[in-house]
Every structure is written in structure tokens, then in C-alpha cells.
Amino acid sequence: MDVKRFLGFSLASFCLLGVAGSAPGASIDTGLIPSPRIVMPDDTPKSTVFLFSDKTGWSASEDDFAQRLSKNGAIVIGVDLPRYLGAIEKVPDDCAYLVSDIENISHQAQRAANSDNYNPPILAGVGQGGGLVMAIAAQTPDATIGHSVAVDPTASVPLAKTLCSGAPRKVTPQGTVYDLAEGALPNPIDVTFTPEVSADGRSHIEDLRKQGFDITVKDAGVSAQAALEASLTAMVGNPPASAAASMPIVALPAKPTHDTMAIVYSGDGGWRDLDKSVADVLQSRGIPTVGVDSLRYFWSARAPQDVAKDLHDLMKTYTEQWKVKHVILIGYSFGADIMPATFNALSTDDKMKIRQISLLGFSPQADFEISVAGWLGSSSSDAVATLPELGKIDPKLIQCFYGQEEDDTACPQLEGHGPEVFKTTGGHHFDGNYPGLASKIIDGLEKRLDQEARATP
């Protein structure tokens, strides 16, 4: 999902007044979650935790726990489970997609806390809260949640409203039991059982493991709250090294069939959905690909010259590793917008390696830092115009794709000026026809390589 163009169903906002580490008066749109307790650490955040209460709701005990986690470096978003379930029941749609609000709050809270890097949030809960954490994992896309931690999770979620998920589910008198979506887990899942666990809760997790899901399970001879605190304290105090500490990339090797590799810059939602799907097709067609997670890479502001330097390093490393001569650059949304200025900042030698620049969901303005304004569909005050930079590039290199329902696209302005312009059905997500986009990108590459071969004596 590209957060720049989408915000989830919204009911509430929360104002951070006098919270350590936050901008005074910073307002956070909390979506469906009614009045969450948001606790900021005194120093730079190391992690972000969504802490779901059990069925009895949020209490002084959870407040104390949240304070202890914050002293260990965590931003804590405390969720009163009964109130949250009540809000979910009122969603007017056929199903409820909870991940969107969770991710939006995580973005906003980390920005308000002036976090140096973006860390995907940890979801944690006990009992019914742990059961909801497991159900949310059933609807979570890749590269969205950092970790799911459940202690004594119930098998069912006590909701009449269905959660949006393609995973198998079963309705019981206690609620709905959600399995996990087919394939690899979207993020690590840790489950701890204590002597308080219900038989059906344990049985459900064991059944998921028998289905092949790589869930980490352990037993603890302590209370559920003590088990959760032990797991989270270790996790928030020693988080995995952030991908943004270096270059947050995904390498997709393949046996080259076109003497070409691709470098794909994602939208501001991170490496998933369109970006990942297009890259997977390229890899399957013999074009090894490197994906750059723009959410993490551009969490802090970067100059085009700095982006170009890192792009040079990627090109040098992977053209040598994969033994290819040529490169195609692909950007989606935020990643498309930064492409012209980045290309123009490359050396002549690097430019000579690039055979095609494919821009998907290209807009008239570019930011070089992920911003709240961008998630709301607007450009920041520091945005720069993209078309003047694009005008400096040989138009024969350029492809521009846009959906016919988009109203914030620069592609139509390129018609008749040399670039290939493709209008598709749908809006900013091209009706989900990602294989079709990838095929047009490959067709364009093959055409350009053929023209080059014909022109070579």
C-alpha cells in the first residue's frame, strides 16, 4: 500500500501535550483506536509497541507497564481492547482492515518523537489482546509490522464484524477464529504459553504450526503479564539493527537474460504491494533486481546528490556481482518522483549504463523526505518540481505510467514530447494489474536494447 495516497477509516485524533520527546501540541490521527495511551521515551526511540489490553480493559497495571517500556526506549501506544472492539463493530464496510490505522499511528508517533530511523511497530497482547494480535497477523502485508508477540492468546476474536483477510476463518460461539494467510509469515510471531493459557488457545497455535507456519513458541512458568514484560523488555531494549542504518534494500537475484539489472524505488508505504510484485515478475523473467525501501531510506531528508551516490554504489556492486552491463531504473509514486533529480546527479559514466527509466504514479512534485503531508496526499513545503528535472533527460529513456482515475499525475504532460506514456485502468494502484505493468517495462527494455543493437555497426 502506498501511504501517500491512502489513509484508513478515521474516528479520532490524539494530541501529544507535554509528552517527553514529542513536539508540543503534535496531533496524531488515531483512526479507529479510541483515545489510546501514547507514552514517549525521554530519549530517541529505539522501538514502537502497540500494547493491547486483555478483555478487562486498560488499567493502572498497564499504565505502569507502558511507563517501564518507555524508560527502556519504546514509544508505547496503549489500546483498551473492549473500547477498540466496540469501535471495530461500528465500521460501515463489510470488513475491518486494522493494519492501516496501526501503521499510520506508528508513522506519526515516530515522526512526532523525532525518531532518527523508522522502526516497524511491535504488536503485543495477553489473552484476548494476544488473540487480536494473531488475527491482525492474518491481514498484515509484508514489510509493515516488525514483530507480533502474544501471550496466552485466545483462539477466537469476540467480534461480529469480520476482519479483512484472505486467510481461512471459522465462526464459533465465542467469536471468529482466524488462521494465517498462505505463504511465509508477514513478520516474526512469538507466542508464550503460561499455566493460565486456555486449551483452545494452545490448540489453535499448535494447529497453525502443524500447517507449516514458523511461529516461535515457548512455555513460561510465570504469570501472563510477567511473561509479556520479559519478552517485550528484551525486544525493545535490543531491537534489530534498523535497515535504515545502512541501505534498506532487497536483492532479488536471477540468471540474467537481458544483460540487465533493475533498481526499484518503492512508494512511501515501503517495500510491498506494487513495488514488490513488479520486482518479482522482473526476477522471474531473468532481470535480477534490487529494491529500495523508500519509507526507511528517506525517513530522514536526503539531497539528490547523496541519493545518486548511493545509487552509484548499488549499480557498481550489483552489475559486478550479477555480471550485467545495463541498468533500468524504476520508481513508484514517491520513488518515481525522486528519480529525475537523482538521475541528473549521477556521473556521465553511470548515466551511460542506464537503458530505461520507468516512472509509475509520477507526480509534479518530489520530496526527498518521508512526511506526514505526503501520507495525506500533499507535498511538503520543501517539495521540488519534477518536470524541469525530467526535461534534462533524454526522453527516449523514459516510460511514464498513470491510472485514468488519477488526478495528481504528471504523465499526461509528457504526451507528444518523446517519452512513452501509458494510461491504464484504475487509479494510483493501476487496478492491481502489476504483472501487466512489469510486462510493459520489459517490453520497453527489449525494444530499447534491440534498437541499440541495430544501431551498433
Q: pLDDT tier at 378 (50, 70, 90 boundaries)?
A: low
- Please give the share of the chain, as a percent, with pLDDT higher than 90: 82
The amino acid at 5:
R
106, 120 contact by CB (below 8 A): yes
- CA 253/CA 251 separation, integer angstroms: 6
Question: Is the pLDDT score of 187 beyond 70?
Answer: yes
Mean pLDDT of 300-309: 95
For all residues of the chain together, what is the average pLDDT? Answer: 90
For residues 199-211, average pLDDT: 98
Output the pLDDT for position 12. 46
**Residue-level pLDDT at 371:** 79
> Contact, 186 vs 144, CB < 8 A?
yes
What's the confidence (pLDDT) of residue 29?
A: 86
Residues 6+ apart with CB under 8 A from 291: 249, 250, 251, 252, 263, 264, 266, 271, 275, 276, 279
User: Tell me: the pLDDT tens digits for 310-350?
Assistant: 999 999 999 999 999 999 999 999 999 999 999 999 999 99
Assessment of whether the complete model's pTM goes beyond 0.85? no
- Whether the predicted pLDDT of 26 surpasses 60: no
Is the pLDDT confidence value at 358 over 50? yes
Cell numbers standing for residue 177: 477464529
Average pLDDT over residues 377-398: 87
Which carries the bigger pLDDT value, residue 47 or residue 10?
47
* HEC sequence for 211-227: CCCCCEEEECCCCHHHH
Task: Return the pLDDT at 372.
Answer: 62
Quick one: pLDDT band at residue 21, thresholds 50, 70, 90? very low
Q: Is the pLDDT of residue 7 over 70?
A: no
* Domains parsed from the chain with CATH numbers: 3-237 (3.40.50.1820), 244-455 (3.40.50.1820)
- Average of pLDDT values for 144-173? 97
Asked whether residue 24 carries a pLDDT value surpassing 80, the answer given is: no
For 39-43, 59-63, 239-243, 273-277, which range has the lowest pLDDT when averaged over its residues? 239-243
